[in-house]
Structure 1
């Protein structure tokens, strides 16, 4: 257990990594340019202090946060109370807030904090939520949706999500980026108060510090290309630089003045060389004289410690509690009257029925003539294709924010992808069940006898399996592809392939080469399509249908065998003697023989079972897929 007064110390830390961005191929093959990012960095901070890491772009500020968070390898020592700080200990007791953190868009401020993953619950958590909102000046926007917050309110909420878990060390990457001066002052002052109130060591990076935040910074670290120019208390900053010949001019912002002094001047070759020599001299000077300055005065430090601090909230909750909280997050984001909630509800419940209603408008007038074989087969095809594509569209639009939040929280070690998918499926399956059964009820009267309730249930179940399969396929693709449009294109392309191959509508199985025919057995579409077609065309309605009101096909069997009894025109009009003939042509191989209804490929229980086996199989596959560790250059893009 870490006490209320603790020290974080970095001793002679070196870190090497990628220094220039590379393309996908270079990252895959390890051909990116690497180099030393942090060079012999030493610093010290105490509980209750705010430490600012200052430096221009590329100075190594973010890399230093990653090193402290134990997310990248390094050489040297990172000590918490004299004991090496390991990654697991950091995850259990500390926190890192990225500049680009994304919160779930459908939640309010209070809901976001209340549904954060903490050990405490009930009254204790409710009290903690109110306390954190008051400390971060968020009480007045407690019921405001996160998508409607200002930049300052959003940043404070992101900080609150971590602060509610009571970390002993809180790392912040550019918390004031792109904020106006007033909100910059507000955020830094709030962080300073929180550090002293909770006894938390706060370390933040800043690229352009203002003079009015100077009083709130207890320590400052200046970095230049990975070297430390100064690391110590801000109260010693002016004296130190004045003693080595760089006094701060009057009316100048000392933080910004010494930041410029620690930045390479690239305006000309001469200035570049001169500033490089000057910075190298400053680095060497601090190595010789900075050890005593870095320690600071412990007497003044001791007055800011909160002796009553007990670190109870941080750490990883139990697995079942995590799944329950993730489940509640999704439900709360759906069942609300905010814009995002209405969007999710309408897409989940109404998009598929609206599409099926459009199908009903076009197919409702279809009559039971010979062309009904093609017409109703086309309706089946459109129903399946629409179910696949709308499921993909809904998943692409709705799953993205949860995926991004997962990649951010998974880096904190809170939960795995399997937990996210389990909670997602617990919410998604009932919605997809309701919407597919409603949709099936719209068009089933066109395809079969509505009084046959069992047949309708089977029809709806097969469509449900199509919806689940397409949804899980989209989730699998979205593990690797961040851009929603690209993910949709990839999913639709894959879906089009197995629809064209195995639906039996666009092309008869009899026209396939043998290897293509057997390839259809590997697709979900084959079993769903065969099941629905058999259910529809096995009905007596499709026996010897007339061509029109004035031309029947009662003698079609003999006419087919004796082509001389009827001209070629009439033969083509009366093509199918029954639904069995249609099914035989569309869904059997070239060498098929025997009774189609007795064939194993047309067994309804078998096809229904295999359809759901595909859907269940891809759900289980995704659980394992999301447990696979991905390269950093893939997961990082989801967090940014």
Structure 2
């Protein structure tokens, strides 16, 4: 790419969009205030040059970058040309880069890993060489093994730039790359960008709100914006000549960049100053439209020209398999990092659930097969179900948002879509959850009764695992549209609590539900999972014979027990003849019901429990393919 000539031209660009923030309801109904944000903006930048877009807040700097990158939603007019070819979204995504003001990188990865696991066309040795070259160019070699969460602001910004440079862009846009940096690091970042433009033959367009005088030599072109109007666009050194010619020479010892920025900014300190500055800026805009054409095309480096040699712009997309493999290896590298973030992920994914079940074992390990065991085992089933549901939610809201936000940002660059993202994330998460829940089941299953059949333990663990997967996928679906992880967790927990309360038959008997609530339970996974576990536990041989109340009180006269219960007489010691009697009380709605061929059917319950989990995974695949409204996407991607 070095030595290739590229020219980006903006010709009479207008853009209308939202001019002030609106409420969620206003966005939904379309009742938001819109206006013209960019007004007849024209500019040119060539390969190897750095163009600075200067202006105060609200001048339209970021809107200009979004128009060039084809990320805006409102109507645009005018032409955006790359080597005389219209700039399309596909062309920008393939050949250009955009460093946004905020970028959420994946914690646990080092600087070198972050660059290496960026999807590009390069692979193997070539990619490693490119990574080392970019780190050297950005002065990041000395921190190559440092995790991204431990970088300084300047190092983090340079890494964000490196993620785009690794893809060899011919046009690189940067939104406020020096924001909130000290003078030394501001100088460092701008000088690095200038060197990168010359070395890689890229045209760099960056926005700045407070330019310093020491960056003046690194800026080949400058564009001054005020409320969407271009006050000046052209060579940086020609700027002095132009403003001097129209009667606004820069005073000696003044920073010319800042001086003319103040000249192009509306003064709001008083009404008189506001009107005067508005009139002056309007005059400057009209003056540049009349006399600025030669300055816009000209440059202090080389005469403006349109390249005669046209290299192919579209190269074709990166292979889906290569992208998926890169994203998956990045997930593995972040998860198995033996640093703080990596260890946190390993703990949450592998050890948190077994620790919870270990606490359950401590509380329930002294159960004996008396009447109290009926209630205790029922409570253990409820706690086991609630544990996997809530821990699935907890792990998801802690671990998933970082990857989700990074996906939203990278999908806007056209690197990959929701299908690849969910496939790679599930390939990482599902094996972890399987091992974790399998170990958790081994801890508490001996408390349920006989441990003679290994398949019974496997069924028990698989049901818990299916519930874990469902809660995880349910929370991922909520996080699709809810940015705040706490709000998503509360909403997901609320749904789960309602389902457990109504459908499990543990906190409330199924037969006590109203008809419409009873039919509603068919649409919940908790109904089938709880029914399967209750059948598995309470039909064991240990709970088949009449159960004594305790070591001193027997319940041998079962006819007396059943007669007293039917007559409404409370037996002081014995409530349930056996496990089957308990199940009949919780699940029978009609005396003619055969609960073992209906609610407690073995094959039906295990099949539907897993069908819910698989269905939720497939639902998320489709959900992440649905185009979201712009105001929802903006919450995650900026």
With the length of structure 1 as denominator, give the TM-score of the two structures.
Answer: 0.96
After TM superposition, the structure 1 = structure 2 runs for residues 128-143 of structure 1, keeping only pairs within 5 Å, are 128-143=130-145
Go from structure 1 to structure 2 and tell me whether the alpha carbon gap of 1:94 and 1:544 turns closer, same or farther (over 3 Å shift): same
| Alpha-carbon distance in 2 for matches of 1:13, 1:178 | 30
Corresponding residue for residue 547 of structure 2 = 545
| Alpha-carbon distance in 2 for matches of 1:500, 1:297 | 72
1:229 equivalenced with 2:228 (yes/no): no
Corresponding residue for residue 455 of structure 1 = 456
| Alpha-carbon distance in 2 for matches of 1:214, 1:567 | 93
Go from structure 1 to structure 2 and tell me whether the alpha carbon gap of 1:314 and 1:497 turns closer, same or farther (over 3 Å shift): farther
- Tell me by how many angstroms 1:71 deviates: 1.5
| Alpha-carbon distance in 1 for matches of 2:192, 2:25 | 44
| Alpha-carbon distance in 2 for matches of 1:220, 1:154 | 26
Go from structure 1 to structure 2 and tell me whether the alpha carbon gap of 1:263 and 1:529 turns closer, same or farther (over 3 Å shift): same
| Alpha-carbon distance in 2 for matches of 1:557, 1:507 | 26
Corresponding residue for residue 610 of structure 1 = 608
| Alpha-carbon distance in 2 for matches of 1:633, 1:338 | 36
Secondary structure at the aligned position of 2:13 is classed as strand
Contact kept? 1:167, 1:314, Cα under 8 Å = no
Secondary structure at the aligned position of 1:602 is classed as coil
Mean CA deviation greater in 175-184 or 2-11 = 2-11
Go from structure 1 to structure 2 and tell me whether the alpha carbon gap of 1:37 and 1:13 turns closer, same or farther (over 3 Å shift): same
- Tell me by how many angstroms 1:311 deviates: 9.0
Stretches of structure 2 that go unaligned for 5 or more consecutive residues are none
After TM superposition, the structure 1 = structure 2 runs for residues 117-516 of structure 1, keeping only pairs within 5 Å, are 117-297=119-299, 300=302, 316-516=317-517
Contact kept? 2:553, 2:573, Cα under 8 Å = no
Corresponding residue for residue 16 of structure 1 = 16
Contact kept? 2:297, 2:304, Cα under 8 Å = no
1:60 equivalenced with 2:60 (yes/no): yes
Secondary structure at the aligned position of 1:371 is classed as helix
| Alpha-carbon distance in 1 for matches of 2:565, 2:348 | 54
1:98 equivalenced with 2:100 (yes/no): yes
Contact kept? 1:165, 1:314, Cα under 8 Å = no
Corresponding residue for residue 633 of structure 2 = 635
Deviations 1:173-231 (A, max 9, x none): 00000000000000000000000000000000000000000000000000000000000
- CA RMSD in angstroms, aligned pairs only: 2.0
| Alpha-carbon distance in 1 for matches of 2:534, 2:157 | 55
Contact kept? 2:220, 2:300, Cα under 8 Å = no
| Alpha-carbon distance in 2 for matches of 1:453, 1:392 | 29
| Alpha-carbon distance in 2 for matches of 1:433, 1:254 | 64
| Alpha-carbon distance in 2 for matches of 1:577, 1:422 | 49
Deviations 1:233-280 (A, max 9, x none): 001011110110100011100000000000000000000000000000
Corresponding residue for residue 112 of structure 1 = 114
- Tell me by how many angstroms 1:314 deviates: 7.7
Deviations 1:356-407 (A, max 9, x none): 1111111111111112111100000001001100110000000011000011
Secondary structure at the aligned position of 2:528 is classed as helix
Secondary structure at the aligned position of 1:331 is classed as helix
Contact kept? 2:397, 2:475, Cα under 8 Å = yes
| Alpha-carbon distance in 2 for matches of 1:351, 1:299 | 61
Contact kept? 1:166, 1:312, Cα under 8 Å = no
Corresponding residue for residue 26 of structure 1 = 26
Contact kept? 2:95, 2:171, Cα under 8 Å = yes
Stretches of structure 1 that go unaligned for 5 or more consecutive residues are none
Corresponding residue for residue 623 of structure 1 = 621
Contact kept? 1:262, 1:279, Cα under 8 Å = yes
Contact kept? 1:167, 1:311, Cα under 8 Å = no
Contact kept? 2:95, 2:314, Cα under 8 Å = no
- Tell me by how many angstroms 1:562 deviates: 5.8
- Tell me by how many angstroms 1:600 deviates: 3.1
Go from structure 1 to structure 2 and tell me whether the alpha carbon gap of 1:503 and 1:562 turns closer, same or farther (over 3 Å shift): closer
Deviations 1:574-615 (A, max 9, x none): 1111211111111232x2425443x13322122111110000
Corresponding residue for residue 46 of structure 2 = 46
Secondary structure at the aligned position of 2:155 is classed as helix
| Alpha-carbon distance in 2 for matches of 1:314, 1:167 | 12
Deviations 1:322-350 (A, max 9, x none): 21111111110011111100000000011
Contact kept? 2:451, 2:457, Cα under 8 Å = yes
| Alpha-carbon distance in 2 for matches of 1:7, 1:168 | 9
Go from structure 1 to structure 2 and tell me whether the alpha carbon gap of 1:299 and 1:265 turns closer, same or farther (over 3 Å shift): closer
Go from structure 1 to structure 2 and tell me whether the alpha carbon gap of 1:312 and 1:165 turns closer, same or farther (over 3 Å shift): farther
Deviations 1:609-636 (A, max 9, x none): 1110000000000000011111111111
Contact kept? 2:39, 2:228, Cα under 8 Å = yes
